[in-house]
Each structure stands twice: as structure tokens, then as C-alpha cells.
Amino acid sequence: MLVLLPPSQGKAAPERGRRMGLSTLVYPRLREPRERLLDAVDPNLHKAPAVPAAELYTGVLFEALGLGDLPWDNVLIASALWGVVRPGDRIPAYRLDMSAKPPGIGALGAYWREPLRAALPDRGLILDLRSGSYAAAWQPRRGTHLVVRGFTESNDGSRTVITHMVKRVRGQVARLVLQAGGAHRPEEVLEIVTAAGLRAELGEGTLDVIE
């Protein structure tokens, strides 16, 4: 199983710490596109203090997720600057969104598509909590892809997509699944989250949580 998290706009800027080493980040084959992009947007980050990604990213999803006491082995965090990182990868605070088009680089979704396709595992269950712009950079072709969505339901039964607070829903789902030791099939994910009291349904490639 692979759990794919989005990054967060909010980041805890470290004041001290060792510098990042590009060679220590997950998937060494991504080093060249990382280095090229880093030099294009902010070469000073080579010298900036770095902390584990699990400590750097803040915000609604990461607060609900609480990575600090969870197993990380099957977790990756999407990043506009790094492609993906592990929660334990040491990185500096940065400002770059996947919707950006840095000079000489262009659209980041297209920039990362081929490197990520070549690097990421494409098998098993992939629990995807990323937003649209990050999801566009990589889509699994062979694995079982399960996207987590959130809805509110009106008295008449109509549903409205949750926008900002879907991050909290996704963080809750990821925490429950990781606490349970992971899952191999979408039906197992559904069983885990409903046993915890969430109302959820499986759709075509989706886990829909209804509030």
C-alpha cells in the first residue's frame, strides 16, 4: 500500500538544523530534476536549515493526520519542488506551488510527470489524498487507485463537495488506515473508516466521506 499526501501551504520555517542533502532524499533518480528546479527558483535553499518533512508541513490535513506517532514506511508527500519526499526526508522551508510556471521550467505538472512516472511504484493499493494540481503530475496506471473525497449532505439528500475542510477528512482517513496497519483493497479501507465512526461509501475509484 502507498499513501500519497499533499504538501501544505503552511510550513514551519526551521531556524537551525543541518543543510539538506539532495542525495539523501527518496528516489535518487529524481535528483537531477530536483537540482535543476531548485537552481531555477531559489539556489539559496541549498544552504538553508532543513528538518524532516513530517515536521515541516503544517495545516489542517497534517494536524488531523498526526504523523509523529504513525508508521511512515508506505507514506509519500507530494511536492512541487522535490517531486515527492518521505516524511523523514530533511528539507528546508520553501515557497512553490504545483500551479507555478518557473522561468526556464514551465508548468510543474508537466515537468514532473515523466520523472515521477519512472520513479514511483505503480502497484498495489494507492490511497490518494492529493489535490488536483498535484494529482495531475502523476497518476498510477496499474495499481488500485483510491481517491478520498469529502461531501456534506443536505436534508433532501443532495451532496455538496467539501472544499477547504476536505483536508481534515483526508487526514482522518489516512490516520485511521495507517493506525490499522494499512490495507490491500478499497473494501478494507471502507471497513476501517466506517468502524471508526465515519460515514463513507466506495465509488468508482473513490472513497467518499459524508458529513
- Residue 50: what pLDDT? 94
**C-alpha span between 203 and 206 (Å, rounded):** 5
Task: Indicate the burial class of 92 (C-beta count within 10 angstroms; 0-12, 13-18, 19 or more).
Answer: buried
The confidence score (pLDDT) of residue 191 equals 98
| Beta strand pairing call for 75-79 and 83-85 | antiparallel
Q: So what's the pLDDT on residue 25?
A: 97
- What's the whole-model pTM score? 0.94
Cα–Cα distance measured from residue 43 to residue 161, given in angstroms and rounded to the nearest whole number: 39
Q: What pLDDT sits at residue 143?
A: 83
Tens digit of each residue's pLDDT (9 = 90 or more) over 62-82: 999 999 899 989 999 999 999
Where the chain has pLDDT below 50, the residues are none
Instruction: Name the residue ranges covered by the structural domains of the chain.
Output: 2-210
